[in-house]
Amino acid sequence: MHVRARTRTACAALVVLGLTAGPVAGTALAASAPTASVRATVAADPGKRDTGRPEGVDPATGRALRAALAGLPDDDATAALVRVSGTDGVWRGSAGVHDLPSGREALADGRFRAGSTTKVVTAAVVLQLAAEGRVDLDGHVQTYLPGLLSKAFEPVTVRQLLTFTSGLKPGSSLGDVNGEGYERRYETLTPEAVVAASVAQGPAFRPGERQNYSNIDYTVLGLLIEKVTGDSYEHQATVRVLRPAGMRHTSFPGGPDPRIHGPHNRGYQRLADGRLVDATEWNMSDRWAAGDMISTTADLERLLHALFRGRLVPQPLLEKEMFTLPDVPGATMSAGLQRFDLGNGTILWLKSGARPGYSTLVAATRDLSRTLVYSVNATDAKSEDMNPVAERIVRAAFGGEGG
């Protein structure tokens, strides 16, 4: 019998009374808080041999990273936390404010909503189960979760869920991706309800025909993990990924809990009507195994290193599933990661994540010669365009001053 260790409630109102945050006075960030200075430290990569060189990344990259963070808060972001590591050492920087009313400096080790970087963890759990013989990647969703999909769907494999080639349409959500779900941020939407809304629409295309990035695939994977293990998704992710990777400050919301527990910086979202609102408290139940993780830049850096070095997924399976794209036209996503060609012979494997008030990225070369993790408290976290502060950080980390 399937045991669900997590209790899902139909309404989150009782646990969030008194937590409502209203609009922030004014719309110009530069006028609402003082500009905080950039705080940066450098350190040697623990795995690097002593070469007699100064510790930290090369000077050009360090200068570019400082410049990328200068001037926060501004209209694009209220804070930014950055970690760069690799063969040159480690650079850690932060800038901006903890919150707009006080103007206090941002917490360099603050926790944040990591958004869709959660999918990296979910993929790793599924691949561990595959390595143990408990999940067949060529097995069908209809076998593992009978009755979940209607007869309108052709057989969908677990691998197709992992690589966003399932043909499932997006399910229901608590609001538009641009943050317009603000008025419903304390409501609860269960994974089952999300999937049911997807299934009711029928398939978007035949399984394996093309790739279409969506949260729905990883929501179904979360249900599959629970069915196969008889345990909660959150506990399986914790014991299989978070603990082995040393991610001591990473967690998942307790059911419909909209808060970020532990030290964190406030997140702000600009709505379509121009209002700038405090988006820190937000029920992420509709994102679940696809995007509700709370983490730190240090923990996400640990995740990159543990994953890429084969400590979480056996190397053969890791290479075949996470560092190989599916054979469909235009594919850029593997199992939980995205392949990105910098155009100079350098290939990055990355995953971004965005929730209102928080934008996150984990990125690395396959050999870990350069890694980047950032959390930007972006005011346009779900915009189709890349946040200007985030773009400056990426260019600095992988292109130096000339990036």
Give how far Cα 259 sits from Cα of 15, 96, 131, 380, Å.
10, 21, 35, 20
Predicted pLDDT of residue 178 = 61
Instruction: Let me know if residue 277 belongs to a domain.
Output: yes
On the question of pLDDT at 11 being above 70, the answer is: no
Q: Establish if 373 belongs to a structural domain.
A: yes
* Residue 385 pLDDT: 87
User: Which residues, 6+ apart, have CB-to-CB distance to 121 below 8 Å?
Assistant: 237, 241, 242, 293, 303
Q: Domain for residue 317, yes or no?
A: yes
SS3 labels along 177-202? CCCCCHHHCCCCCCHHHHHHHHHHHC
78, 265 in Cβ contact below 8 A?
yes
Per-residue DSSP letter, 251: B
Predicted structure pTM score? 0.90
Number of domains the chain is built from = 1
- The number of residues making up the chain comes to 403
Among 43-47, 205-209, 277-281, 388-392, the least confident range:
43-47
pLDDT above 70 covers a percentage of the chain that reads: 85
CA distance 84 to 93: 9
Structure tokens at 124: 């790793």
Please indicate, yes or no, if residue 2 is contained in any of the structural domains: no
Rounded (5°) CA angle 369-163-207: 160
For residue 55, the tally of other CB atoms under 10 A from its CB is: 15
Owning domain of residue 63: 38-44+54-402
Out of 52-56, 192-196, 280-284, 360-364, least confident range? 52-56
- pLDDT-above-90 percentage for the chain: 78
In terms of Cα–Cα distance, which of 394, 389, 398, 215 is closest to 289? 215
3-state secondary structure of 358: strand
Say if CB 69 and CB 38 are below 8 A apart.
Answer: yes
pLDDT at 384: 81
Residue 44 has pLDDT above 60, yes or no: no
Does 16 fall in a domain? Answer: no
Query: What is the rounded distance in angstroms from the CA atom of residue 267 to the CA atom of residue 185?
Result: 14
pLDDT above 50 for 309: yes
Tokens of 157: 């494999």
Closest to 245 measured CA to CA, from 378, 373, 158: 373
Q: Residue 41: its pLDDT value, please?
A: 74
Instruction: Let me know if residue 270 belongs to a domain.
Output: yes
145 has a pLDDT exceeding 90:
yes
Mean pLDDT (the chain, rounded): 88
> Per-residue pLDDT for 31 more than 60?
no
Higher pLDDT pick, 10 / 305: 305
Locus of tokens 């999940």: 135
| DSSP-assigned letter for residue 348 | E
Give residue 76's Cα distance to chain centre.
Answer: 19
Q: Is the pLDDT of residue 82 over 60?
A: yes
What average pLDDT score do residues 84-98 get?
95
- Of 360, 363, 368, 352, nearest in space to 310 by CA: 368
41 strand-pairing partners:
92
Name the helix (H) or strand (E) containing 377: strand 370-378
Q: Which residue from 295, 254, 240, 230 is spatially nearest to 126, judged by alpha carbons?
A: 240
Confidence of residue 56 (pLDDT cuts 50, 70, 90): confident
> For residue 212, is it within any domain?
yes
What is the token pair recorded at 240? 């299989």
Split at pLDDT 50, 70, 90, the class of 42 is low
How far is 141 from 129, CA to CA, in rounded Å?
15
What pLDDT does 35 receive? 56
Q: Is 31 part of a structural domain of the chain?
A: no
Q: List the one residue out of 299, 386, 300, 353 whose CA is nearest residue 113.
A: 353
Summarised one tens digit per residue, pLDDT across range 269-292 is 999 889 999 999 999 999 999 999
Q: Angle 35-393-100 (CA atoms, 0-180°, nearest 5)? A: 30
CA distances (Å), 392 to each of 31, 69, 131, 294, in order?
Answer: 22, 8, 39, 24
Number of Cα atoms under 13 Å in the Cβ half of residue 368: 17
- Domain containing residue 337: CATH number: 3.40.710.10
The string of pLDDT tens digits covering residues 252-269 is 998 799 999 999 999 999
Contact 336, 122 (CB under 8 A): yes
